[in-house]
Amino acid sequence: MLGRLARWLRTLGFDTAYDDAITDEELVRRAFEERRYIVTRDRQLPEQWRMSNCLVLESDAPVDQLREVVVHFGLEPSDRLFTRCRICNAELVPATSEEVEAQVPASVREHQTDFVRCPNCRRVYWEGSHTERMLSVLARVFES
């Protein structure tokens, strides 16, 4: 239920575990073992498991959820933007045009020379028009 929020947190560079099929018991155990906070929409979770490291979000909208997280934890804009894979959370590594040639459209390779890739899921990222849109959304989140 919070997959899009997880992707935004990863965009900001935060180590964000997310599993939409995890049981409450496993979630609580994993949060305890890995010293993580739980962010949820499930109001009963912190009461049932007597947890204090849990933030229950009010909003259904991912950007509003991100704003709630930013405010609650006092997060600041990060210099680690775009350093984690939005899909699997791994830290991204630089890649050459040659290394990603098969995965990147020729039209992109004509205009871009800087690429990063995920060492885990092999996804490739580059700065494009989507980057400006994402930065605009993040600016609005941190304005408030």
pLDDT, position 52: 87
- Can you give the residue ranges of every domain in the chain? 1-81
Which of 15-19, 24-28, 106-110, 132-136 is predicted with the least confidence, judged by mean pLDDT?
106-110
Instruction: Give the pLDDT confidence of 12-59 residue by residue, as tens digits.
Output: 999 999 999 999 999 999 999 999 999 999 999 999 999 889 999 999
Residue with tokens 């305890």: 32
The C-alpha angle 95, 84, 138, rounded to 5 degrees, equals: 120
The answer to whether the predicted template modeling score (pTM) of the entire model surpasses 0.85 is yes
pLDDT, position 144: 67
Record the tokens describing residue 141, joined without a space.
């989140």
pLDDT, position 78: 84
pLDDT, position 59: 97
| DSSP at 41 | S
